[in-house]
Chains A and B, each alone.
Chain A
Amino acid sequence: MDFLSFGLEWLPQLLTGVPITLALWVIAITLGFFLGLALCWARVYGGRVWYWISTAYIELFRGTPMLVQMFFIYLGLPHVGIVFDAFTSAVIAITLNSAAYQAEYFRGSILSVPSGQLTAARACGMSKWQAIRHVMLPQALRRVIPQWSNEAIIELKFTSIAYTIGVVEISAIAQDIGSRTLDFFHVFLWAGIIYLVLTSSVASLLGWVERKTWVPGVTTQ
């Protein structure tokens, strides 16, 4: 019963971290979505120079830990006069990191759309942009949903790293409650449960989107 009584006492306080965690996540994943699309664009359609810029970016952010990226932005950049508060630094780090992964997933899905369909779109008189908008994107976005869901959930968990630079999200509050009650066992059990509820909600929401947009022959069941 320790578990339940601990929950009754401290859960309300732990839950105050949820809006911060979700805000971090929603802002970063959304900005990462558009930056990821742009990076993917640069890599697939941008020509030589953009290809290399985009590739270098993707390799850099996939090849270094997010913790290092976040520390660099929050603690390193002030040395050259660029100062962000903790929340903004966390958003920037997660955005930049997520964009690199999202770009790669987008690239994979764009390349998986049969090129003959784009040719057919051009052959009936569509402009390049119309062919992308009406033929390529609707298929590429459907195809990317499973991987994108995965990425979204990973980033949701990565928001906990923001705790290390002082953002008061779920993990930071849990740590705080832990040092006050010295009951780290129960506090992190409850923190884990909150994350699990959040990630499984996101997973089922995206699963629903995937089913709603399913079309035979475009994505596998």
Chain B
Amino acid sequence: MDSDLVLDVKGVKKSYGGVEVLKGISFSLHRGETKVLIGPSGSGKSTLLRSINHLTHPDDGKVYLKGEEVTDSNIDKMRARIGFVFQDFNLFSHLTVLDNVRICQIRVNGVERDKATRRAYEELERVGLSDRADAYPAELSGGQQQRVSIARALAMDPDVLLFDEPTSALDPELTGEVVKVMQQLASDGMTMVVVTHEMSFARQAADEIIFMEKGYIVEQGDPQTLFTGAENERTRAFLNVIAEHG
């Protein structure tokens, strides 16, 4: 067994109403790696990401976290080890920033309150928001909310972080601050899977880019190779469109 293997996704399939959106996807992720999933909308990227921690229950296939299979019976424990950052942040609106970053530590991991507080401040420091600890989510900009949600995920000490289009709900001028935090995480050696249309992030931070279309992985490789000479025609077409508009 490869000891650095964090995530192993094997043959994951998912259909909605007779339409197969994931047609048996497999990929693996090693410690410290950042993989970026790209592809046109509807290609199954988000569904794949949500299948990893069963927010979407896969019809078939298996997901292993450090060699342990993710199943219905251990799902809450597994989710505690898989950080998930949503497109629309989903911060808990009735809790302050500090409590948002503390609550899962305390309620799920059973971390003692003082320790959770210290950890929360560390992670808020990391995303540059320790001075907003007492604010409520509604008092923050979208970019700040997303940074808090990243801190919330980090505070759980996850084995892997999953990002589901973390900048897509943001005004263009706010995407930069979130991308910067993600780049820092990648270079700090965090293990991450990122679904995004931010090609600058993919180019700079990804160890590997996975291009998906119509429920398949069409091509995967390091950013250098993919951006300069993608083998597949559809990958090239997609990257061209993104380059023009993005």
A residues touching B (Cβ–Cβ < 8 Å)?
114, 116-117, 119-127, 130, 134-135, 138-139, 142, 215-218
Provide the B66-108 mask, 1 if CB < 8 A to any CB of A, else 0.
0000000000111111111010101111100000000110011
Indicate if the CB atoms of A124 and B94 lie closer than 8 Å. no
Q: Which residues of B contact A126 (CB under 8 A)?
A: 76, 104, 107-108
Interface residues of chain B, those whose CB is within 8 Å of chain A, are 53, 55, 76-84, 86, 88, 90-94, 103-104, 107-109, 136-139, 149, 152-153, 156
Q: Knowing A116-B88, A124-B79, A124-B156, say if A130 contacts B107 (CB, 8 Å).
A: yes
Bound-state CA distance A135–B90 (Å) is: 11
Write out the residue numbers on chain B whose beta carbons fall within 8 Å of the beta carbon of A121: 92, 104
Give A135 Cβ to nearest chain B Cβ, in Å: 6
| CB-nearest residue of chain B to A123 | B84
> Can you give 17 A-B contacts (C-beta < 8 A)?
A119-B90, A120-B91, A120-B92, A120-B149, A122-B55, A122-B79, A124-B104, A125-B104, A125-B108, A130-B107, A130-B108, A134-B103, A217-B136, A217-B138, A217-B139, A218-B93, A218-B94
A117, A134, A215, A217: the one contacting B90 at CB < 8 Å is A117
Q: Which of B88, B93, B108, B137 contacts A124 (CB 8 A)?
A: B108
CA distance A30 to B81 in the complex (A): 41
Cα separation A149 to B232 with both chains bound (whole Å)? 64
A120 to B86, CA, bound (A): 8
Report which residue of B82, B90, B103 has the largest number of chain A beta carbons within 10 angstroms of its beta carbon: B90
Would you call B136 and A215 a contact (CB within 8 A)?
yes
A116 contacts B90, C-beta separation under 8 Å: yes
Residues on A with C-beta less than 8 A from B81 are: 125
